Structure formats: C-alpha cells, structure tokens
Structure 1
Amino acid sequence: MLRFVVLCTLVVSALSASLSPVIDPEWEGFIVGGSTASAGQFPHQVSLRSSANAHFCGGFVINNRWVGSAAHCTIGRTNANTISVVGTNSRTSGGVSHATARIVNHPSYNANTLANDISMVQTASTITFTNLVQPITLGSVFVGGGVSATVSGWGQTSHPGSAAANLMFLTAPTLTNADCRSRHSTANAARVFDNTICTFLRSGTGTCMGDSGGPLISGGTVIGAVSWGIACAQGFPDVFARISSHRTWMISQM
C-alpha cells in the first residue's frame, strides 16, 4: 500500500459490509504490536456490525442508550444496517446485540480531511450493565503529551493480514499536537487539528486497517476515538478525535 494517497481517492474497506461508508483505507484503525484483552478488561468496548453480523468499526458505551464512534464509520449508514454489540471480546460471536434507533454524525465532519471525526449511535433498546458491559466517562480535561493511554480494537495485527478474532489493545504515550504534526508529512500534518489527539510508541506498533471509532482511554475516561493513521504502524503517530473537544456536542445529542 502506498504510504500516502491523494485525499480525494477513496476506496471501500475490504472488511466493511456492503453499506459501509466509502473511506480511504489508511484512515481506518486496528491494533498492530498489541496484546490480547482478557474478558471484561474493556467493558465499554463496542463492536459496530452490519445486519449480517460483519464487524466494520469499533465504539464505546457512553450510557445505557448511547455509543460513541467515528463519523467516517457511520456516515451513510442506515439504522437497519448498524448494530451495536456489547459484552464480548470476540469479533464474530457472543455478546448482546442492540439495534439502532438513531445515528448522529458531527455536523462539521469533513470526509476529505476527517475534521470532527466523531459520531453517536443511539440504541433501540436499553444496554444492560454487567461485569462485561459498562459505560465509560467522556474525558473533559485537555490531555497533553506524555500521558499513557490505551487503544483497543479488533482486526489486522499485521499488514497485510487478517482481522483478529479477539479484542486487542496497545498502550502508548500521547504526543503534543505540535510533536504529532512534526512527525507527519506536511500534507498529513494539516489533518492534525487542535481537536485531535495523537499517540506514538514506536515503529511496528499502532493502528491498522478496519476498526476506527474504537476508544482511546486514560485514567478511567475515554480521551479519543480512533480516526486515522498511516497504514500500518510504519513509524508515524496515530490520530484520534479528541473527546474533550467534542464532549459538549456529544452530551447535547443525548
């Protein structure tokens, strides 16, 4: 895969269902160089799936009726073909499925730059909390550089490769936005907005194809939603929608 692509050139992810949004593959996130999660380790984790049970993106439980994700995951999708599965580490089985009542994409989301890449999914039924299913607090504090944060998701653990059967996670330090921009090309640095947050550990670890929208957590709060990265784990920072910047909008939708 070419490291950089023209932003207007979009392709459908091979891991997405037929009604999935059309997106550039380098913008989707999985975990490379991570570890396998244990049962209940990330009870806020959500698998967004099609009506055919095909996982296409990650998400996180906010409360008993709302799931957070990335706008590029949910833009163009329908309620009928978007299901939130909670309470399982398996990408294909287990857990509890919730149909969708409403999808709300950020009104200022830009598909070309991935600005404001955040969305909300309202479930049609109430999410029941258990030891395997719990909400996570939306981060309200601006997080700078050097903070330990953990991202979780399903999918390719190498590229090329196949999607992981079980939930994976990776812990990496956050970067200041200035540092993040300096580590990217000029074109991609322009996509690191003030309302994004970046992480970087080392080359060979990071996000890869398919599970955008998944949570970046620190201190018991979700501080980011996987937005984009240079596929895959090639030594560039991964970029997330910054939850503290979007928190007021997210709360206003619930």
Structure 2
Amino acid sequence: MRSTSYATLGAFVLVLAVPTSAAADGSVIGGNPVRVSESPWVVALASHDRFGTERSGQFCGGVLVGRSTVVTAAHCLSKEVLGVPWQQVRDLRIVIGRDNLAGRGGQELKAANVWVNPRYDSWTNEGDMAVLRLEKPAGRPAIQIAGRGDAAYRPGTGATVYGWGDTTGEGSYATALRSAGVNVLEDSVCAGAYPGSADGTYKPASMLCAGEPRGGRDACQGDSGGPLVVGGRLVGLVSWGTGCGQAGHPGVYTRASALLPAVSQHGAD
C-alpha cells in the first residue's frame, strides 16, 4: 500500500521507500526496463550515509529540466524520508546517466543550492516540489516542462512514468530504470478517489492524476519525484496515492506547469 508519498522508507531502514507510494527491478508497477540513454533527463537522488551503498543509495527520483537544474518532490527531502533534516545529509547526490544503480556509470553531482517549497502541505500533499541547482552542468539533455494549457494535460492522453522504485508494492526495489504507460485521467476521477483523508486531498490546480481504471500500472515507493512524460514533455512529478497499481486509486502527480515559477526563480538556467 503506497500511503501518502512515493519515497523510500527512511534512513533507519536503509532501504528506499516512505509512506507507501512509488516502484523497483520491476520498478514502476507493471513497467518494463528502459535505458537511461533514451530518457537522459531521469535522475536519482541518493545518499550512502542514509540508505547504504546498495542501489547507489537511491531513495527518490528527479528530473533534469535545465543544464544545471533538477526538480523533485518536496517530501523526498523531508525528515520523514531522510530520518534527519536534509541539511544534515552531507553526501546528498544527484545520480545522472546510470542505467543500473548497482553499477558506477554516469556521474554523481552535488547540489550547490536546494529549495524545498516552504508551502508544501504534508496533509493534503499540495505543493510537493523542490528545485536543486547542480554544482555544475550535467552535460545531458534536459526535458521541457509542459506549460499551462498544453494539450499534453488532456484527459485520455497516454503518458509514461519512470523510476527505480518498488516493482511489486511489497518492497522489491529495482536496480535498472523502468517505465510504464498510464493515461492522464479526468480531474473528477481523482477528486472522487481522493476527496480528502489522511492520504491526501486532490487539488486539480496543482496536481495531476494518471493510471488505469483497473489498476496494474503505476508508480510506487521509491519513484517519488520522478517524471510523468507526454510527447517528450514533463507533465508531472510522482507525488502520492493509496497503494500501488490498485483499481480505483490512481497515482497523483505534482502538475508540472505549477513548477515553472519555482524553476524560474530557483533554477540555474
């Protein structure tokens, strides 16, 4: 069950997965392996100190939206996920271009600046966004954020979610990046599924909902902060939901257009 967020459980367990919500080797529930070279803007947030060396210490996903700018979920940098305030995580790294988290390919960069949305509401999950400015340009293609009113947000549109999270909903985490196809859903479907409870409250202005009516394909624990993509444009960040791939409980994403002001203000490019 993927309770409120799709991150990893917390430093004290040294395995990635927070309040149940994101996905792993089968990562991304119902997904398939995909090469990072085909989606170079997908990155992993990692810390060996907090989560060990296995799987590079990955605990969340992120997205390269500029030469030196990464966006992720605010809850990924919360004390609930990290076990300590993020400022105390001395080895926080952004892993870029690494297909297999058990290997050493790609690069690991530090964040020169971290902005976590001070208005993030952990009860409703509204405002679940953070911006990380890298110490130097990643040297890889970034993805464009779909602006407000973009047809990519239209209900019924096919989308793809990416991650290294739990592939089964039972703590089986992936080492290879995976993706799964889902459909953007009507706001009314999400509002009906999440009218307001301890799991969260669906807010259409800043959230997007995607999944399958019968379930089966979804993000899960460990996928938090990772991308939901339509036609080569970023439309959402994995944020929260109830369970993983359950019928009637689609995944909820931070609406990418809501990221634009923060990226403009806190990003490097």
TM-score (norm 2): 0.81
Find the counterpart in structure 1 of residue 154 from structure 2.
Answer: 144
Partner of 1:234: 246
The answer as to 2:90 corresponding to 1:80 is: yes
CA distance in 1, matches of 2:94, 2:203: 28
Q: 1:102 to 1:158 in 2, by over 3 A?
A: same
* 1:240–1:39 Cα change, 3 Å: closer
* Equivalence for 1:119: 130
8 Å Cα contact 2:199-2:241 kept in structure 1:
no
Query: AA paired with 1:32?
Result: I
The answer on 1:170 being equivalent to 2:180 is: yes
Identity of aligned residues (%): 28
Can you list the C-alpha shifts for 1:100-136, whole angstroms capped at 9, x where unaligned?
211101121112221100111111122112xxxx200
Q: Deviations over 1:14-72 (max 9, x none)?
A: 4x44599xx9512x312111111134121100011014441000001111211110000
Q: Give the equivalent residue in structure 2 for 1:37.
A: 34
Structure 1 residue identity aligned to 2:35: S
Which consecutive unaligned segments of at least 5 residues does structure 2 have?
50-55, 79-84
What code does the residue aligned with 1:181 have? A
2:46 to 34, 45, 49: 49
Spell out structure 1 runs of 4+ moving beyond 6 A. none
TM-superposition CA deviations, 1:162-215 (whole Å, max 9, x none) = 211100101111012111122346527861112100001232221221220000
CA distance in 2, matches of 1:214, 1:153: 6
Q: Does 1:71 align with 2:74?
A: yes
- Equivalent AA in structure 2 for residue 85 of structure 1: V
Which residues of 2 match residues 85-100 of structure 1 at below 5 A? 85-93=95-103, 94-100=105-111
State the shift of 1:13 in Å: 3.8
Corresponding position: 1:253 with 2:263: no
Whether contact under 8 Å (1:19, 1:77) holds in the other structure is: no
Structure 1, unmatched stretches of 5+, are: none
Q: Would the aligned equivalents of 1:65 and 1:122 in 2 still touch at CA under 8 Å? A: yes
Provide the C-alpha distance between the structure 1 equivalents of 2:174 and 2:200, rounded to a whole number of angstroms.
31
Residue type at the aligned position of 2:234: V
Counterpart of 1:121, as a letter, is L
Q: Pick one of 215, 234, 237 that aligns with 1:225.
A: 237
Match of 2:120 in 1: 109
Q: TM-score, normalised by structure 1?
A: 0.85
Q: Greater relative contact order: 1 or 2 (C-alpha under 8 angstroms, separation 6 or more)?
A: 2
Q: CA distance change for structure 1 residues 111 and 39 in 2, over 3 Å: closer, same or farther?
A: closer
Alpha-carbon RMSD across the aligned residues, in angstroms, is: 2.5
Shift of 1:249: 2.4
Aligned-partner SS, 1:102: strand
**1:111 to 1:247, Cα distance in 2 relative to 1, 3 A:** same
CA-CA distance at 1:241 after TM superposition: 0.3
Aligned length: 240
User: Is residue 244 of structure 1 aligned with residue 247 of structure 2?
Assistant: no
Q: Could you tell me which amino acid in structure 1 is paired with residue 122 of structure 2?
A: A
Cα distance in 2 between the residues matched to 1:189 and 1:156: 19
CA offset digits 1:202-240 (Å, max 9, x no partner)? 322212212200001112111100001222212111000
